[in-house]
Structure formats: C-alpha cells, structure tokens
Chain A
C-alpha cells in the first residue's frame, strides 16, 4: 500500500509539472470562458443592432437558445480536450519512467510491480478526473449567464466523456509499457476511435434493420462485444428535446428527430465499460509485470 501511495503521489507531482497538461487545461478553460462570454455578448449585441433576434422574441427563450448553443459547443470541447488529456497522460505516465531508465532504480526497491502499476493508474485517473472536473465545473458556472436549466445534461455528458477517455488512457498506458509511446497512441486511436467507432456504427445499422443478413448480423454482434464501445449520455436527447421545444415543432416532427439520436447507455453498457476498465487495467499490470528493464 505504501508503495502504491508513493508511486501515485510522485506521479501526480510529475504530471502537475508537465507543461503540456497545463497548456491543455488553460486552453480549455479560456476556450469555455470565451465561448460562453462571447456568445452572450455577440448575440446580445447583434439582437439590439442588426435584428438577428426579433425584437419581440421572448428573452427567456432567447437565453435558452444561447445556452443550447453553448452546451453544444462545450460538449465538443470536453470531448476533444478529454481525448488530448488522456493521450498526454497515457503516453507519459509510465513510458517516461521506462524510457529514461528511472524504472531501473524504482524496480530495484522493495516495491511490487502490482503496487507500481496501481499507483500509476491511480495517479493517471486522478489527474484526468481533476482536469475534466475543473473544465466541466467552469462550463457549469458559465451556464449561469444564460439562466441555467441544462446542468444535468452537462454533468452526464462530462461523466460519459471521463468514462470514455479513461478507457482510452488505460489502453495507451498498457500499450506504452511495451512499445514506443507514439506508436502506442496511434494503435490506441485506430483501435478505440476508428475501428470501434465503425463497428458501433454498423451495429446500429443492424439494430435499425438496415442490414438484415443473419450471418452478417451475428458477426457484427460478436464484433460489437469484442470492442470497447463508448458510453453515450442522455445529453444529446436532452438537447434535442430542448431544441424542439424552442423551435415550436409539431410533436410528430419532434419524435422523428429524437428517434435518430442514439439512446443513452443502459446498465448493460455501463457493466461492459466496468469490465473493459478491469480488463485493460489487468493488461497494464501484466505488461508492467513482464517488462524487463
């Protein structure tokens, strides 16, 4: 336990001093602040000068529209920064110790490889969660500019982003233990973002009845459960519902639009995610254990 805590503590100290993470955090924080403040200012300015918003528009509805726009952008920003931060941590947390030779001194101490791997994972997860929480919290404060109302959507989306990037980070950590960290990042990207995305997309086509062939359907069912598929929050549906309510569409149009949005992940998906996290944590431990330095 002492070994795990020591590894986690000093890995966090190291991560907190890495400029790349600080740059991502500052860029993300500035981006969210500028996005929220800018949208509010721009639309307020335009609505009074050039008639972008009709003068008789309901101010509450207009604010809601701005919030929707902001939350849409924030979701993209969180996803992108989450990905960058996961790569930045995953590519360095273990690889730099192995590449520099620091691992030689560390592994000659009375610390088990399990304690080392657990400490590294704990520190990496803590760093990822803290940075994403800071960005999500900031976004939530900015939402008060627009009166609020979509906070739950933001919280759920932030949780989904953290959960998905955590899996990616574990894959990069595990791969970078036995290959170059840039190669590990590329392999993880192709596996988790490209192949997995394609499989999930095609599987959705099967679910919607677009592909009817039973053999193809079976193969895709198997493939679907071989790849870690990303968790989806109910935020996209919440946003769509808010947008429909704002636009005053008919219930029929609204239900058609909502049907095209992927449903939120259920208990089965969350359990599968937990299994994937355990699996890749196990792979990481195995790689660290087998590693000769």
Chain B
C-alpha cells in the first residue's frame, strides 16, 4: 500500500547559526494508520508537521504527500490539518470560516450546505454567532478541528488537538480519530498527552532535539508492564540535560 506521507532524512533549521530544529527524521504513514509524534517542547514536532503541510521548506531531505511535493497546492487536496493554537480571520463567524475554507477546498454549493452545519454541530459551534475574535481558546481549537475534517481528508494531522479542550471535547476527538481510522484515514497525532496517544495510536516516534530517539509500533516501543510515559521520560532524560532543581524559595522551610 502506498504511504499517504513519507518523510525521508528531513532536516530543517530556522537560521544558519541555529542548531537543527529537525535533524534526519524519517518515517512513513499508511492509510488507516494512526501515528503519534511525541517529544518534549522544542523537539521539532510542529516543524515536521508544518513541512508535511507545505508551510515550511525543508533544508535537506524530502517529503512526499500523496506521492508529490507538499508545496504543490493539488497535493494538499486530501489533507486536513488542525494546527496547534489555531486562529482564523478575526472578523468572521464560525460558519463563515468554514464556508471560506470549503471554498478553498473547492467544495460546491450543495456540498457546502450539507457539510458546514453538520461540522459546526460536531464542533458544538452551530449556535455560535459571534466573531472569531471573541472565541475562547477551546472554541478556536474546536473550529480548528472542524475545518480540518471539512474536506473529508485522507490524511488528518492534529497538532496538540486537545490541549485547550475540556474532558468532553477530548472524548469527542478520540471518538473522531477512531472513526476516521476505521474508515481508512491516516492520522498523524502530535501530542503531549501520552495517555491519549497510547489509546489511539498504532505507531509512535519519540523525538528530542530534532532527532528520532525511538520509533515503532506501540508494542515495540512500550514493553509489557510499562507505560508510554515511563518510556518517554526515560528516553528524553537520557538525551537532554535535566532541570529538576526546584527554586530555593520553594524548597526553603518557611520561617515561623
């Protein structure tokens, strides 16, 4: 089966003098597979995701999205991307944002009329009439997921999708991922919530400082009797200096 996305020897740095943000990352994702990209802050997860979406250009290596360069607009036709901390044109309403993005996806009028109300209802924004600038972070996150699934993508990339969601919203996102997986959609999940990744992902890659420390199926990465968090902490601690020293004003005993 042809991979929906394949990343080969990817390297990227933001300035010539800066260290590599992504350093030799390689993986592939097949239809119906849920892939978890894990790592501490600054590991390069969002950079990898943005390169896959054609938002950033790699310095070295290659990315194939549905067999072609993600910089080509046509290759992004079957891609759904919910960015971390999403935002939208501030003076539009949720329904207008979806109509705007549906137009960019090339959906016809009839399809827009069918999909937009249903998507808004799924996101819990169907009764929302305010402009996006008045939305809370959680509402923007729900709209971010709504616009990502609007085009019925074959690859759904979720960058920290549940960071600002309440427990009910998280449950809905998990159900969405399960449903999409079973219908053959590939899901790339980028999250700090390891318990969540453990629940929904088939394979994972753990990144630190732009490099893949470990990659494989969940069973390969997490030995029996342990959990993903233990493995993650162990791997990351072995590859990065630790800052576990608490400030002295916290550890000092209060004076009577």
Contact = CB atoms under 8 A, between A and B. Distances in A.
A13 B96 contact: yes
Size bin of chain B's contact surface? 20 to 34
B104 A6 contact: yes
A222 B88 CA distance: 45
Interface stretch (A98-106, A143-151, A225-233, A236-244): A98-106
A108 interface: yes
A10 interface: yes
Contact of A105 (B56, B75, B101, B106): B101
Contacts of A104: 50, 55, 81, 83, 86-87
A17 B131 contact: yes
Nearest to A11: B89
Interface string A282-293: 000000000011
B173 interface: no
Interface in B59-85: 73-77, 79, 81, 83, 85
B87 A101 contact: yes
Contact of B86 (A2, A10, A18, A101): A101
Interface stretch (A58-66, A109-117, A183-191, A264-272): A109-117
Contact of A107 (B54, B89, B103, B131): B54
Nearest to B131: A17
B36 interface: no
Interface string A79-122: 00000000000000000110011101111111110010000000
Interface string B94-105: 001000110111
A110 B86 contact: no
Listed residue (B55, B83, B100) with the most chain A CB atoms within 10 angstroms of its CB: B100
Contacts of B86: 101, 104-105
B56 A292 contact: yes
A102 B73 contact: no
Contacts of A254: none
B91 A17 contact: yes
A108 B100 contact: no
A292 B76 contact: no
B120 interface: no
B92 A106 contact: no
Given A100-B88, A110-B73, A110-B74, 7 more contacts: A6-B103, A13-B96, A104-B87, A105-B86, A106-B101, A109-B101, A110-B106
Interface of B: 50, 53-57, 73-77, 79, 81, 83, 85-92, 96, 100-101, 103-106, 131, 144, 147, 151
Interface of A: 2-3, 5-7, 9-11, 13-14, 17-18, 96-97, 100-102, 104-112, 115, 292-293
